[in-house]
Amino acid sequence: MVTVYSKPGGLTTFNIKDGFVEALLRGYKLGFLKDVDYRSILQCDNLSDVKLNLQETDYGNFCAEVQQVSPSIIREKAMEKLVAEFEYLRSQADYPLAQFLDYITYDYMIDNVMLILKATLNNPNVDIFSLVKQAHPLGQFEESVLKSICAFENSAKGYGELYQSVLIDTPIGKYFAKFLEEESAKSAQNANDVQNLLAELSATRLESSLRKLYLEDFAHFCETLGGETAEIMLNLLKARADATAINITLNSFDTQLNQINTRKSQRKPLYPSMGFLYPEGTEKLSEVGDENDLASVLRTYPIYEEIFKSHQGQSNEQTIDDAFYEREVELNEMAFEGQFQYAAFYSYVRLKEQEIRNLVWICECIVQRRKDRTSDHFVPIFSKEAKFRNRNR
Amino acid sequence: MSSAGGQRPAANRMTLQTFKARLGGASKGFKLLKKKRDALKSRFQALLKDIVDTKLKVGESLKDGAFALAKAHYASSGDDIASSIVERAKKPSVTTKMYPDNVAGVSIPVFKVLRNASQEAIAHTMGVGSGGAVLNATRDTYLKAVECIVQLASLQTAFHTLDEEIKMTSRRVNALEYVLIPRIEDIIHYITQEMDEQAREEFFRVKKVVEKKKVKLAKEKEQAEKNEAAIDAPSILQKKDADIVF
């Protein structure tokens, strides 16, 4: 019995608990902006026109009461909509799905903890309320938790105290525990050396370590769920881990992370220990010293080779981030192809994020009168005109 | 032009000399200041053109910067870049230094951008996870904007300084041209007039004296003749001596 309830169920049993929620999700999927919507938004000359156009879409109710429109307000409102939908899904979900949805929010919780840590690092008297407003609404903590996070210092010791008194009660406490464990094990080896070296990097370190632990934990959870969920989710998470690893490598070239003696000791721990590249790929990545090396490592992975080519093309239009976003959208759209699995929920949130990014980008372009540049960074979702669809044809 | 109620100086040759010297100095100064004003003005005109160009450039580069920032926002997937940047900002990597520049004897401040790239090392680890390249591009775009702004600031300061200087020089030029020089000329004119007057007076006085003397002489002569006639007694000498007047 227990096993039945801790798994999503298959063709015959899925709908007992999760049928309604999935139906909701499929309904929400229709709310994505369509090609037509994008086209009409792209034709706008000012943001009130955008608002007018949005009123005919699913965003209508959320934009209706706004008087003044700006890209950030549109972002806020769109996020509000996403959160409202997500909360509704979450409130309808039963155990394994509820847990799964919670896992999605942990990602944003890590963002928020990092946001607050970074903000309070230099300035302990920072305004908590403005921070709470900046925080991602999907990973919101209670206010008391946020306030107490601000009281700790940015050092291994500070993190330890922070963990023991505050974060242990939050869902992401376990990642902190793991991070501190690893950190203290390392400190034992060469105590003061590591501390000094990492003083500057520690916030970045902490963030990528937490993210890494989270991805691994999430992947593990998906594995226990089994079935199609595990299959698709692992695909998605692995792709994300690979993107992180490649990005870290690429972005570290100008920094002290790329010095030969720190490559292994500091850059390598930032790579997630999962993904299609793991372990032999990340091992090679940790040796990489410049873009040519990176290209030669990625040559053996056709997908990433192509993505990296878009970076090397030096055309200003597409950066590697865009290529990764595109790939993410492609993968996440595929998650909707299967039924009776949870991956679509994750994909839904990710795709909505991308949609919000698209909207904000288009709005920025309109505000700054650079409409000719809109196509640079914008990945339509469930669009027949998506670049990857045309490529396959 | 009147001497504006000023005290008339004593009209003599010495004051005339001093005033003539002052007139010479004033007109020399006037010529020099006028030259300076013209030099400043020509520089000023060139500056105006520069300022307009730079202002357009600043607008353009700030627009680029805002656009790059929007790009960075897009690439860093909605993370709050601003707070992490503020957290990293410790020492400024871009500073300005002031150098004096000289235009027609007016020192004008010129600002120069100094960039210390080593202070930026901290910022390089920004967005290592994602969007680092875009962030770097954004920083470069903004750096250009900052350079433009500093250039504009330098031009504007020069503009203000020059403006002040031109105003002051013009005031001086005008004061010399319309007040000081006419006043000195007026005084010189007055002095020469006065001296002519004095000369004429003197001449007339001398003439008068001579006239009076003549009259007196004539009178005396007449008197003497009368006396002679009155006596008319046969002279003791009888013989008239031509050398003796009386």
Q: Which positions in chain A touch B122 (Cβ < 8 Å)?
A: 200
Query: How many whole angstroms separate alpha carbon A263 and alpha carbon A279?
Result: 16
pLDDT band at B24 (very low <50, low <70, confident <90, very high): very high
Q: How far apart are the first and last CA of chain A?
A: 47
> Is B87's pLDDT higher than 80?
no
Q: Which residue has the higher pLDDT, B38 or B87?
A: B38
pLDDT of residue B220: 93
Tell if the CB–CB gap between B133 and A319 is shorter than 8 Å: yes
Confidence of residue A197 (pLDDT cuts 50, 70, 90): very low
Architecture of the CATH domain B27-173 = Orthogonal Bundle (1.10)
Report how far residue A157's alpha carbon sits from residue B49's, in angstroms, rounded to the nearest whole number. 59
**pLDDT at residue number A385:** 74
Q: What's the confidence (pLDDT) of residue A169? A: 76
pLDDT, position B21: 92
CB contact under 8 A, A365 and B70: yes
- Minimal-distance CA residue of chain A relative to B60: A368
Per-residue pLDDT, B3: 45
Confidence of residue B96 (pLDDT cuts 50, 70, 90): confident
From A309's Cα to the closest Cα of chain B, the distance in A is 15
* Confidence at residue B208, expressed as pLDDT on a 0 to 100 scale: 93
Chain B: residue whose CA lies nearest to A154? B87
State the average pLDDT for chain B.
82
- Answer whether residue B1 shows pLDDT above 60: no
Average pLDDT value for residue range A29-49 = 87
Give the pLDDT band (50/70/90) at residue B214.
Answer: very high
Residue B204 banded pLDDT, cuts 50, 70, 90: very high
Residues of A in contact with B125 (CB under 8 A): 200-201, 204, 252, 255-257
Q: Residues A366-393: pLDDT tens digits?
A: 888 877 777 777 788 888 777 777 665 4
Whether B74 sits inside 8 A of A356 (CB atoms) is no
Q: Is the pLDDT of residue A4 over 60?
A: no
Which of A121, A244, A250 comes nearest B133 by C-beta? A250
CA dist B51 → B41, B48, B156, B244 (Å): 15, 5, 7, 103
Q: Measure the CA–CA gap between A355 and A323, rounded to whole angstroms.
A: 16
pLDDT tens per residue, range A297-332: 888 888 888 888 877 765 555 677 788 888 888 889
> Mind listing the pLDDT tens digit for each residue in A225-262?
888 888 889 989 999 888 888 888 887 776 766 777 77
HSE-CB at A77 with a 13 A cutoff on CA atoms is: 22
Residues of chain B in contact with residue A211, where contact means CB-CB under 8 angstroms, are 129
Q: Please answer yes or no on whether B129 and A211 come within 8 Å at the CB atom.
A: yes
**Confidence band (pLDDT; 50, 70, 90) for A187?**
low
Amino acid, single-letter form, for residue A195? Q
DSSP labels, A149-213: HTTS-SSHHHHHHHHHHTGGGSTTHHHHHHHHHHHHHHHHHSHHHHHHHHTTTHHHHHHHHHHHH
pLDDT of amino acid B219: 93
Position B80 scores a pLDDT of 63
Q: What is the pLDDT of residue A63?
A: 77
Per-residue confidence band for B137, with pLDDT thresholds at 50, 70 and 90: confident
Query: Average pLDDT, whole number, for chain A?
Result: 79
Q: Which residues between 16 and 75 in chain B have a beta carbon less than 8 angstroms from any beta carbon of chain A?
A: 63, 66-67, 70-71, 73-75
Select from A111, A201, A370 the Cβ nearest to the Cβ of B125: A201
Q: What is the mean pLDDT of residues A186-201?
A: 50
Q: Is B119 on the interface with A (CB under 8 A)?
A: no
Q: Is the per-residue pLDDT at A348 higher than 90?
A: yes
Contact at CB, B128 and A251, closer than 8 angstroms: yes
In chain B, domain spans: 27-173
pLDDT of residue A76: 85
Q: So what's the pLDDT on residue A137?
A: 81
How far is it, in rounded angstroms, from Cα A97 to Cα A80? 22
Q: Give whole-number Cα distances, B107 to A204, A282, B34, in Å.
A: 49, 61, 18
